[in-house]
């Protein structure tokens, strides 16, 4: 059985606060208590916050000790409530241009499993906002983002993460073959979408 963590992030999109999340499942024993859950949460935040700038903050999380589809969180933290504090991203952007808020970059992990058509099954996580390289390369992420994504991908598969945990999928104990990141910026729909102009 895997244990799961959901990290909730917040950033400004369409002039308002937008929350989105990534859920992770890890190999290894379920954290024994609230302290152990917080240690795992902090370790994941330390790695993930390198993927976005300070305008994005981690505002909370949930922990799951059951990887069934109807699992209920057994642990949670709200970093917007004192004495907690939201954790800002640490990626330093010195070049490039911001893409729309629903633009994203991703990191993926190739598992040893195959789908019914014999194609590899990947685990994928998306991150907002994306920063592009500018004129002529507006669909390509800046180098610092690619470097961070690749390092994050490796961290969650090479057993160097806390307690030698590796990423897996809900309901599986995956063998991860490799990892990689998006060569192009993509779009991932967020809750707050603007209306099309009339006329």
User: In this structure, is residue 192 part of a structural domain?
Assistant: no
Cβ neighbors of 74 (< 8 A, separation 6 or more) are: 63, 64, 65, 66
Cα separation, 151 vs 70, in Å, equals: 32
Closest by Cα among 170, 180, 26 to 108: 180
Closest by Cα among 191, 199, 195 to 16: 191
pLDDT of residue 192: 58
User: In this structure, is residue 194 part of a structural domain?
Assistant: no
User: Residue 197: is its pLDDT beyond 60?
Assistant: no
Structural domain harbouring 51: 3-187
How many domains, the chain? 1
pLDDT of residue 68: 86
Residues in the chain: 199
pLDDT band, residue 189 (cuts 50/70/90):
confident
Percent of the chain with pLDDT over 70: 95
Question: Is 140 within 8 Å of 183 (Cβ atoms)?
Answer: yes
**pLDDT for 60-88, tens place per residue?**
999 999 988 888 999 999 999 999 999 99
Question: Is 5 within 8 Å of 22 (Cβ atoms)?
Answer: no
16 pairs with which residues across the strands?
13
User: In this structure, is residue 132 part of a structural domain?
Assistant: yes
Classified as helix, coil or strand, 184 is coil
User: In this structure, is residue 20 part of a structural domain?
Assistant: yes
User: In this structure, is residue 44 part of a structural domain?
Assistant: yes
User: In this structure, is residue 29 part of a structural domain?
Assistant: yes
User: In this structure, is residue 23 part of a structural domain?
Assistant: yes
């Amino acid at each position: 059985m895997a244990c799961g963590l959901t990290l909730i992030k917040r950033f400004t999109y369409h002039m308002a606060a937008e929350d989105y999340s990534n859920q992770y499942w890890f190999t290894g024993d379920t954290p024994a208590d609230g302290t152990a859950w917080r240690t795992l949460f902090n370790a994941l935040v330390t790695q993930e916050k390198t993927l976005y700038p300070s305008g994005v903050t981690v505002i909370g999380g949930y922990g799951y000790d059951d990887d069934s589809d109807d699992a209920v969180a057994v642990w949670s933290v709200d970093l917007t409530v004192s004495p907690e504090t939201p954790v800002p991203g640490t990626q330093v952007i010195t070049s490039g241009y911001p893409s729309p808020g629903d633009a994203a970059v991703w990191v993926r992990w190739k598992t040893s499993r195959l789908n019914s058509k014999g194609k590899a099954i990947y685990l994928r996580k998306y991150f907002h906002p994306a920063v592009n390289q500018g004129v002529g390369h507006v669909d390509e992420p800046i180098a610092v983002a690619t470097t961070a994504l690749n390092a994050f991908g490796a961290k969650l598969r090479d057993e160097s993460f806390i307690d030698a945990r590796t990423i897996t999928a809900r309901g599986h104990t995956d063998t991860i073959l490799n990892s990689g990141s998006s060569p192009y910026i993509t779009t991932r729909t967020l809750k707050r979408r603007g209306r099309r102009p009339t006329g």
